[in-house]
Structure 1
């Protein structure tokens, strides 16, 4: 189906404010959509997005998963690790990394995540006592995920604020900038040099952290190179840091918008994971992922040529009324299960899904232990302008402390 008007421009600020009205039209009018100007195709229905994620042969990751020109190309794996690879390279690297990045390691990290969350919450609520509003992203949601990654990797506490500042600079885009600015390139180089030094130090003396575990990971004599370890560490910064920050803020925003859904959570913190899951469905951080057609693909009686870019839209798939009842309602506790694609599906399913869920559960439960309620200052909330993630750069809130 060919539609000449622009239904999807991932760089459009109006789209960033509310993509869901656009997604509805895509699903109804152009389930296979073509944007000639930006040179991509897009799939928006749940069934098609799921099939796209699971088709890792015809839909290749080797040029990266972003539409942004600077992030696309054969160099993508340098910063996106195995996320920007196809098998067998992808499977080899993922399997080796998995030996260090285990569910057990994540479970054992939980007490430290709780301590880090508590420290940032105490500081935020101290600020809230003396001022009317605090920025939930600046003071909490934007700090916790990167500090958790640093804890996991073994970055000394004294260096964490600097590492977090570099990570923020890697992701930051000024208004109107769609490609990677010089400041982000510089921050990326600083991070890479820092991680190189860290890996070199662990080669001399191992410790009990993920960096050391990656150095020790071995299958039949095959080990990770320093560059492969650094590439994975960088992937954690890009994929694990920003998306979790957005998840925490999106949960706070939609909880505020739906107080009837949130009230039971205050009384029963066992409901926090359900709050996290519905946020992942209703307004997922990771909205758009790119693939490159390898060979020939026919969808909706249309041949998509080899080498073309195809966008998968999990943000749209989660609002597909063909799969979810009343998908535009925010319902904590609804049945979601395997229909969720916030972490992808198939061969490239996110290795950090269990870490992100644990962080969000701990962070939101600790917050609710300390407050009786909160209000978002919507007039001063600022959305991030990104072609692939959705969330807030700033989310001012007024809290009622217990």
Structure 2
């Protein structure tokens, strides 16, 4: 069978791993002329590209869809779609507000939020895991940013409209008008919230972004809104998908589920991030000809870094298809590498740990109705839109 990879292929979106395994062995530098991109899959190559912004630029964005790709990509991806020195400046200012102290200080509220969402869902013996997985990180990010509780459901729905859709008949390389409208609505909402917070500071990330300074240099209101838009995808959807993927992986691997439910939640999260990461691909632009594995990626080419494939490279992870809580996951690159390593990685891990600890404190075991589960449609993310679950409660 001919080897073909496209992040827009619905079948690959449902299960990309068989194709990744072939790319790793047969075509570590893969060219798709129809969708106009090259793909790198091996761990060493992906890590090297992530750390080399001189040859692999971020300025055209992280996703290949026409609406997201191009010189205006920073409107959607903020400082993640920048190279130094712009990236250095923006990330430095944002990190002054997005501190480890601020993140760790959220843990008590995270537990309250998780319990509040779980309580009504677990009154019976069945629930949709993705209802919890979507609502929980939305409220966490809203708590962090300072979004009023009355607005949080709206932020979640707008974010989902931007990031993916379940319409199997639509062209997956295009964004529907609803998604573009949602982007505009989010920009408008966060602009108004920024104006309000500029008048009256609170103990939240938005106030921290307004106050962040390096000498006389401060973030502009437009830059702040860009960071908040970034958090919809980077802080809400990815955690939602991570929770669903962890839940599914533990169900499919009952021996490992016993360990996960027995207190090894951190290992459960770490192995899910390697084995079934929510973010699968990261796009770059080649700034010059790059020779790799007897192939030349030409200057100006769109390059897709297959982080999820790299996380299953057998050169780094023995028996990579196996879900194993005892595995050393230190080399996993789900959160990137180098100067673009995800600024919210610690928050994502904390959210997942708290959510799964709270779940396993009240759920003894569970079964997923796989025939009714639905996956998302996305060129760069992987996970579930629905995950119907029947539970056995702890007594």
Name the structure 2 match of 1:305. 298
Q: Which residue of 2 aligns with 1:90?
A: 87
State yes or no: 1:386 paired with 2:378: yes
1:2-401 to 2 correspondences below 5 Å: 5-126=2-123, 128-129=124-125, 133-138=126-131, 140-173=132-165, 174-175=167-168, 176-178=170-172, 179-267=174-262, 269=263, 271-337=264-330, 339-401=331-393
Aligned length: 391
- Cα drift, residue 107 of structure 1: 0.3
Q: Structure 2 regions of 5+ residues with no counterpart?
A: none
Could you list the per-position Cα deviations for residues 344-366 of structure 1 after superposition, in whole angstroms to 9, with x for gaps in the alignment?
00110000100000000000000
**How far 1:114 sits from its partner (Å)?**
0.8
Structure 2 contact 373–388 (Cα < 8 Å) conserved: yes
Coordinate RMSD, CA, aligned: 1.2
What secondary structure, in the 3-state scheme, does the structure 1 residue paired with 2:285 have? strand
Retained in 1: the 8 A contact 2:110–2:351?
A: yes
Q: Which moved more, 1:220-229 or 1:5-14?
A: 5-14
How far 1:120 sits from its partner (Å)? Answer: 0.6
Q: Is the 8 A contact 1:6 1:35 kept in 2?
A: no
Deviation at 1:264, TM superposition (A): 2.3
The answer to whether the 8 Å contact 1:275/1:333 transfers is: no
After TM superposition, give the deviation of residue 302 of structure 1 in Å. Answer: 2.4
Counterpart secondary structure, 2:238: helix
Question: Residues of 1 paired with 2:47 and 2:55: CA distance?
Answer: 14
Give the conservation status (yes or no) of the 8 Å contact 2:41–2:310: yes
Gaps of 5+ in 1: none
Deviations 1:239-262 (A, max 9, x none): 221111110000000100001111
What CA distance in whole angstroms lies between the structure 2 residues aligned with 1:316 and 1:216?
40
Contact 1:7/1:25 (8 A) holds in 2: no
Distance 2:260 2:293 in 1: 43
Q: Is the 8 A contact 2:59 2:82 kept in 1?
A: yes
- Structure 1 stretches of at least 4 aligned residues deviating more than 3 Å after TM superposition: none
Contact kept, 8 Å, 2:162 with 2:183, in 1: the verdict is yes
Shift of 1:296: 2.4
Range that drifts further, 358-367 or 168-177:
168-177
| Alpha-carbon distance in 2 for matches of 1:318, 1:275 | 15
Compute the TM-score of the two structures, normalised by the length of structure 2.
Answer: 0.97
Question: TM-score scaled to structure 1, two decimals?
Answer: 0.95
Report deviation, 1:35: 0.6
Deviation at residue 46 of structure 1 after TM alignment: 0.9
What is the CA distance between 1:6 and its match in structure 2? 4.3
